[in-house]
A and B are shown apart, each in its own frame.
Chain A
């Protein structure tokens, strides 16, 4: 882990002002920000761990907990909201049995709502591991979860 962090920091020439992008790259590498990685960043950049922690907890993009195998992000931008994204969020939460921002215990699914993705023509938009699914509705979201192997997601193949 320390070696990996070292490589990332070297890419930014050890410049402290790049703390946010460095942490983004670390998160990309490990899928979340493990404590040991944060300590390594702190030591190698000579930034106090309290400062690193402050930054990590300030910005929304960072997660201190591991994320699921399937990461679902539902756009909650205004355009998606007025097109009924909230009902879709309710459906996903009830099927997965978790709230927005949480991960299922088996580490299969993470569900989060995000600000605008800028694909408003497709709204509401659900992103599954980086893949966009547009014109989302309740039935389609059920279908996607079923396809990903979530038990209890029933649908009647209506689209």
Chain B
């Protein structure tokens, strides 16, 4: 697309032309090249496909598309073949030729590349029948597999920018805001604040210019849905932002992205360029006289910059310290001008609301939380990946039906939601429907949608120490209760994991938590004690085992555990003695080995190497 589109009608005719030029029955190879799959070395597979197609003169006959993340990261590299949507997983980098020759040319299915449903042992041929996908509602994220993120034509061919055309030509800004309020779209970045109200406040605020910002500083460890949206479908996010800017009356937007997300930055940069050339961004958008442009800014790797006022400071080129919010960002935000900040996923939902209407949108989800939510399901789970479900879906369905349960037959212990400031949810709440309010009720939160599954081998005191440690290094240092209090909590937790815990430590932690929550300015400090409080609430027995009995029930905390070898299980294969760096694990070939406790550094190498599960950690 090189000429500017001058009207909504012209946009519609271009969409029609592009759609007509695409035969849905034409065979097409789709391959995921999101960051997750690229880490498997997928680029080589892409090159092989291109070369093999060219070699056979098939580049015209067979379509080939690289797309963003499909979500099923566990099973990458992934290839989907249209029109039948044959799903190949864990594809070898050298499998390209075989797939073309057998599946595309002869219609044969390559059995070894099919997904096997672990529940039934059956092989699954079509993508839609894979349990991981089948039980999801992939409203926003599902588009990722339909577009090449580098192609504006792809996005237009699936009706992209229709919502923008509709908003700009047929709706008044106030009506757009009312629609978003009616849809009850709540911020997907953590707070869950109704986006429509925020837009409304920014629109009504005094001051010029007004800014709209897309928060793509996804800092929660274990959450990567925003990156995958920005990288897999950048035009969708951009379209949402342009609609928002029109409704709010803004002419300048920013995308604040993590520097650790180079592919997302590359794709959104390209999308902005394409949208400008096509007249969808910049001056006189779609010939309506509306002007709006977007700049990209890269973050410096500070978790606190996900907080709005810290993010503004960073955008202005300063250290990202939050400020008191007596005055809302909607009145005085970036450069003290009215500013509307929403995260990537929130913006990506906007085009759906405008295109299909608030009533339709509000029909999905629960009473207080509408629409779908993308979760990143990670940790001790069989199907690691990005999962999109309607608000209100039960945790059990997400973990067991979609996620496929816990690997190695281990027992579920907890699921952590809401990032470092969220909480750990025990088994008793697995039948709870997940939405903003329910999670808050049980001491956790939605956050940006990270879900980390933990099994019986994870120590909850260690997990609390891990998160607190993360927050110690990420606290900006402005408020003393957060800077010193969280550090002190970390030290107490470290003592407990090192066997130096004392009676009364748990109560002290609870007391400190209350003071930190009261005495910190921003959400980082306010929620920093959450991981500690929620683990105390649900796993107090583990704290007590550490403090009173100097035991780590999960076998994680080094100071409280001993390594030994089960003579019944040990076959004397000598593997442990080879990997042991200190010579602690030793014994004669074919005879049971033993570990010299005085030499053992508890590095875990023997346990990892043992094929007979003979290493006992207790």
Contacts and interface: CB of A to CB of B under 8 A. Distances in A.
Interface of A: 16-21, 23-24, 47, 51, 54-55, 58-62, 76-79, 81-84, 87, 90-91, 94, 114-123, 125, 132, 134, 137-139, 154-156, 158
B378 A79 contact: yes
B88 interface: no
Given A58-B300, A58-B302, A138-B603, A116 B222 contact: yes
A125 B39 contact: yes
Given A59-B300, A116-B221, A121-B384, A18 B35 contact: no
Interface residues of B, number: 63
Given A17-B316, A154-B581, A59 B452 contact: no
B432 interface: no
A28 B380 CA distance: 36
B103 to A, nearest CB: 25
A134 B39 contact: yes
Nearest to A116: B221
A15 to B, nearest CB: 8
Contacts of A51: 318
A123 B320 contact: no
B36 A119 contact: yes
B299 interface: yes
Contact of A78 (B297, B416, B604, B609): B416
Interface string B302-326: 1100000000001111111100000
A139 B301 contact: no
Contacts of B416: 78
Given A82-B380, A122-B36, 4 more contacts: A58-B319, A59-B320, A78-B452, A117-B260
Contacts, number: 160
B334 to A, nearest CB: 9
B317 A20 contact: yes
Contacts of A20: 297-300, 314, 317
Contacts of B224: 116, 118, 120
Interface in B451-496: 452-454, 458, 463, 466-467, 470, 473, 476
| In the A-B complex, the 9 residue pairs with the closest CB atoms | A59-B300, A118-B224, A77-B221, A19-B317, A121-B73, A79-B378, A120-B378, A116-B221, A58-B319
Contact of A79 (B221, B319, B470): B221
B223 interface: yes
Given A79-B384, A120-B376, A138 B604 contact: yes
B317 A79 contact: no
Nearest to A123: B378
Contacts of A16: 317
